[in-house]
Amino acid sequence: MRVNLLGPLQAYAGDHGAELAPAAQKVRQTLVMLVLNAGRVVSLARLMDELWNGEPPASAHTAVQTYVYQLRKRFSLGNPRIGGAAPAEEVLLATVDDGYQLSLPADRVDVFRFEPLLDRAGAQFRDEDFARARETAAAALRLWRDEVLVDVRKGPALEAEAARLKGLRTSAHHLRVESDLHLGRHHEVLGELASMAGRDPTDERAQGNLMVALYRADRRAEALQAYRRARERIATELGLDPSPRLQALHAAVLTSDEALLRPGRRISAVPAVTRAPSHLPAPRERLTGRDGQLARLTAALTGRDRADRPVVVVEGAPGTGKSELCLHVAHQVSDSYPDGQLYARLRGDAGRRVRSAGILRSFLRGLGATPEQLRLGATDLSLLFRTWTADRRVLVVLDDVSEGSDLTPLLPSGAGCGVVVGSRRRLFVSSSAVHLELSGLSFPDCLRLLDSAVAGHRIAADQEGLRRLARLCRGLPGALFAVASQLHRRPHWTARQASAWVLAAAGAPDDPLGVRAGFDRTLATLPADSRPLAYELLAPGVPDRFTPTSVAATLGISDQKAEDLLEELGERYLVRARHPAADSRFSYELEPGVRPLAPGPVRRSA
C-alpha cells in the first residue's frame, strides 16, 4: 500500500497497483486519519470526533466499522488478532483496544518522507553546507503536488494537521531560497521572493530575504521600499513594529553595509554565545507512578510525531507533582535541544505574577544579549527573543502558568524549538498542544513510593501502618516525601506517631507537609473578590458536595456568584462538576485531597 497526502489524495494497493482512493468523503477521512497515525492506535472516539465534529449520530459506531471494513476490502488489508505484531513490511489494519491501528512503513507515505528531508536540510544549513541544504530542501518540496489534503473534507484533527504541514512547507521553501542566497544566486530567486513576499506581507522572513536579494542586485531603493511596505502591513494587520532582525537589516541597507554583499554572512540581532544556556533546575525527587506520562511527553517533544514547535502542557491540582514531571521531561529531552534549555516560573512563592519583561531579560542574558538590548521594553524584548530562536533548537520550560495570554511573549518562534508548560489551571494553548491532566498517585504507587523512601526505618516492617500513612497523604507526592523526611529525622517513630503527625501537620500554620503553599498559589490565581469566598468554602465544616444554591446560602452571595465561584474552582482542579440535575444545573464536589490539606477560613471584611 502507498499513500500520498501532499496534494489530492492518492492511494495505491501496492507499489505499482491501481489508484484506489475511495470516493466517499468520510471513508477518505478515515483512511487519512489512519495513515497519519500509522503504527499507533486511533481510538473510535477520536475517529468519530473527526468525522462528525464532536457531534456523532447514534449510528456513528456502526458507520465507522463500515468505513473500516470498506478500506480493508478495497486495499486487501488483513486484520490480525488483537495484540498481534505485524511483520515490518506487511500492511495490516488491526482492531485494537476499541480503536484501529494501521501498520504501514513510513516510506510508503509522502508526508513521512517529507519531514525527514526537511530535518536533514535544516541540519545541513546549520552546518553551512548550503549546496546540499538547497538540494535536500528542493527534494522535499518536489513531494508536494498541491495544497495538503486539498480534496479531503477535514474535521478538527485533519485541519490542525493540514495547518502544521502547510507551515513546514513554507519553512522548506524559505530554507531552499536562503540556501540559494548563501550560494550567491540572488538574481535567480528575485521573482520567486517577490511572489512570496506579496502573498504574505507580514512574513518577515520572506520580506527580509527579498530585501537582501534586491540589495545584492544593486536595487537598494527597492529594498528600502520593500521594508516600508512590510512595516506598514505589519503595523496595520498585527499592531506591531517589525522585529529587531528586520530593523537591523533595514539599517544595514540604509548604511550600505558591505556585509550584505557577501553570501554566507548572517545578520543576527543577538550575538552568538560560546555556550548554550542550561537554566533547568535539578529535579528534587525521583518519579514514581509516572512512567506512562513521562513517555508520552518525551515522545511528543522528540519522536517521529514531533510537531512543528511541539508544546506540552501539564495541568493538575496542587501537590500532584506537575513541576517535578515537567523538570524530568525537560532533562530527558535536553539533548534534542542543543541551543539551550530555558526555565522560568511565572508566579513567585507568594503567588504574585512575574512580569514577562523580567523573564525575557533573564532568557536573553543567557543567550548573550548586550546590556543595551536588555534595556528594551517588553514588546521589543519579545521580538528579540523570537528573532534569536527563529532558526535554533531551544527548549523553553514555563512553570506556574495561570493565563494563556502570559505565554504569548515567552514562546520561541522556531520550528525546531519545544515548549513545556506547567499549570495549576486548565489552559487552552493550541489545538496541536499535548495536554496532560495530572491527578494524585494511585494507592499502590503511594505505597510503593513510601515503602522505598523509608526502607531503612523500623516502620518499613509495619505494612498496615504504611498503608494508613499512604491513605492520609491522598496521593500527593509532596506530602509523601515530607512524611519520609520526617521519619528519617525520627527513626524511633512508629506508624502511630507518624499518622498523628500527618493529621496535625495538615492544619499547622507552618505547613510542615509542604502542600499548603501550592493551594495558596492556586487560590492566588482567582480574582481578588473570589479568594476570601474560596477560602471559606474550602474550610472544615462545609460539606464536600454542594450546589450553587447551597454555596450561595453558606456564603451569603447570589446564586450566580456562587456558580461563577464554583466554575473558577473547577478550572483550578479544586472541585469537580457532576452531571446536571433536572434543572440543568451542575452540582459539585471537592477533588480528592483538597479538604484535609485545605487552608483554614479567612475572615471576610464586612
The domain that holds 403 is classified in CATH as 3.40.50.300
CA distance 232 to 242: 9
Residues 381 and 418 grouped into a single domain: yes
CA distance 411 to 471: 40
235-247 burial: b if 16+ Cβ within 10 Å, else e: eeeeeeebbbbbb
Q: Are strands 2-4 and 10-12 parallel, antiparallel or unpaired?
A: antiparallel
| Contact in structure between 554 and 543 (CB atoms under 8 Å) | no
Residues 455 and 532 grouped into a single domain: no
| Contact in structure between 571 and 563 (CB atoms under 8 Å) | no
Report the phi/psi class of residue 351: left, alpha or beta, with left for phi > 0 and alpha for psi in -120 to 50: left
| Contact in structure between 163 and 141 (CB atoms under 8 Å) | no
Distances (CA, A) of 465 to 12, 268, 453, 494, 503: 64, 62, 14, 8, 14
Residues 31 and 48 grouped into a single domain: yes
Residue 103 domain boundaries: 2-110
Indicate the number of domains in the chain: 5
Cα of 33 vs its chain's centroid, Å? 21
Q: Is 282 inside any structural domain? A: no
User: What is the maximum span of the chain, computed from C-alpha positions, in angstroms?
Assistant: 86
Q: Which of 110, 126, 154 is the last residue of a domain?
A: 110
Q: Which of 110, 135, 150 is the last residue of a domain?
A: 110
Q: Is 484 inside any structural domain? A: yes
Q: Is 125 inside any structural domain? A: no
Distances (CA, A) of 492 to 149, 454, 458, 465, 466: 68, 12, 7, 14, 15
Q: Which of 94, 110, 126 is the last residue of a domain?
A: 110
Looking at residue 273, its pLDDT comes to 44
Please report where in the chains the cell 506547567 appears, as a residue: 422
Average pLDDT, the chain: 85
Q: Is 152 inside any structural domain? A: no
Residues 429 and 537 grouped into a single domain: no
Looking at residue 235, its pLDDT comes to 86
Kindly calculate the radius of gyration of the chain based on its CA atoms and give it in whole angstroms.
28
The CATH number that applies at residue 19 is 1.10.10.10
CA distance 207 to 227: 7
CA distance 343 to 232: 35
User: Which residues lie across from 78 on neighbouring strands?
Assistant: 92
Residues 307 and 423 grouped into a single domain: yes
Taking the complete model, does pTM exceed 0.75, yes or no? no
Looking at residue 81, its pLDDT comes to 52
10 Å CB burial of residue 537 (0-12, 13-18, 19+) is: buried
Ranges of the chain whose pLDDT falls below 50: 82-88, 265-274, 597-606
Phi then psi dihedrals of residue 121, to 5 deg: -60, -40
Q: Which three cell numbers stand for residue 228?
A: 516600508
Q: Which three cell numbers stand for residue 187?
A: 538574481
| Contact in structure between 325 and 486 (CB atoms under 8 Å) | no
Residues 457 and 538 grouped into a single domain: no
**Angle between helix 477-489 and helix 443-453 axes, rounded to 10 deg:** 30
The CATH number that applies at residue 209 is 1.25.40.10
Q: Is 560 inside any structural domain? A: yes
Looking at residue 604, its pLDDT comes to 44
Q: Which three cell numbers stand for residue 110?
A: 509522502
Residues 319 and 388 grouped into a single domain: yes
Q: Is 39 inside any structural domain? A: yes
CA-nearest of 595, 580, 292 to 438 is 292
CA distance 449 to 430: 34
Looking at residue 85, its pLDDT comes to 45
| Contact in structure between 570 and 560 (CB atoms under 8 Å) | no
Residues 452 and 590 grouped into a single domain: no
Q: Is 275 inside any structural domain? A: no
Looking at residue 271, its pLDDT comes to 45
Looking at residue 470, its pLDDT comes to 83
Residues 473 and 575 grouped into a single domain: no
Residues 560 and 534 grouped into a single domain: yes
CA-nearest of 44, 89, 46 to 68 is 44
Looking at residue 246, its pLDDT comes to 87
Q: Is 355 inside any structural domain? A: yes
Looking at residue 601, its pLDDT comes to 42
Residues 455 and 555 grouped into a single domain: no
Residues 489 and 567 grouped into a single domain: no
